[in-house]
Amino acid sequence: MDHSLAATFDGANAQSRPPLTGPRDPGDAWVEGVHGRFWGRFGAAGVLAYDPAKGVLLQHRALWSHNGGTWGLPGGALHQDEDAVTGALREAYEEAAVPAADVKVLFSSVLDIGYWSYTTVVVHVARPFEPVISDPESLELSWIPVADVQRKELHPGFARSWPGLRPRMLELAAALRQ
C-alpha cells in the first residue's frame, strides 16, 4: 500500500516561498554562530512518528525552504518559553496534521551546540492516522519503513542524527511486535 500523499501545491509554487500571513512568532528567526546558521531563535524541534504498520513519517521539504527537496521531520522553530515536546507536537500538527491525542511520546534526543538546539521527539502512533499536508512547507508526506529511511535524500541535520536514532527505532519496532 502506498502511504505517501501528493502535495497540493503545484511545481511553480514549490519553487518560491509563499507570502507570509498573520503575526510571526519572535522565535521565527535565524541564529548564527561558529557552527553555522540555524532556524529558530529559541531552538527547534520535530516529531519522529513511528507507526508499527507503516514505518516513520517523513516530510519532503518544499524547494524554497532551507535544504529544500530533502526529507526530514515535521517540525520547526520553538516559540518563546515553549518546551521542546510541546513545540514539536505543535509543529507536527501544523505541518502534517499529526494528532497529539493519538501519539505517545517515547523519548527525545537533543542536539545542543550551545547557542541553538534541536530536539527530536520520538512518538509511537497509538491510533493510526493519515497525515495531511496542511501548509506549503511540504512537497509530500510519506510513511517510510525504518530500514528504508537512509535511501532517501535526507535533510543534513536528520542525516547526521539518523545513525543514532535508527538502532533505537529498530529496538522499538522489535519491542512493539512482542
For the segment 121-158, what is each residue's pLDDT rounded down to a tens digit?
999 999 999 999 988 999 999 999 999 999 999 999 99
CA–CA distances in Å: residue 175 to residues 63, 102, 114, 122, 143: 37, 19, 34, 15, 20
**Minimum mean pLDDT among 15-24, 82-91, 101-110, 132-141: which range?**
15-24
17: pLDDT strictly greater than 90: no
pLDDT for res 98: 97
Cα angle: 70, vertex 71, 75; to 5 degrees: 110
- Mean pLDDT over each residue of the chain, to the nearest integer: 88
**What is the enclosing helix (H) or strand (E) of 12?**
helix 11-15
**pTM for this predicted structure:** 0.86
pLDDT for res 175: 86
Classified as helix, coil or strand, 160 is helix
Mean pLDDT for the stretch of residues 33-41: 92
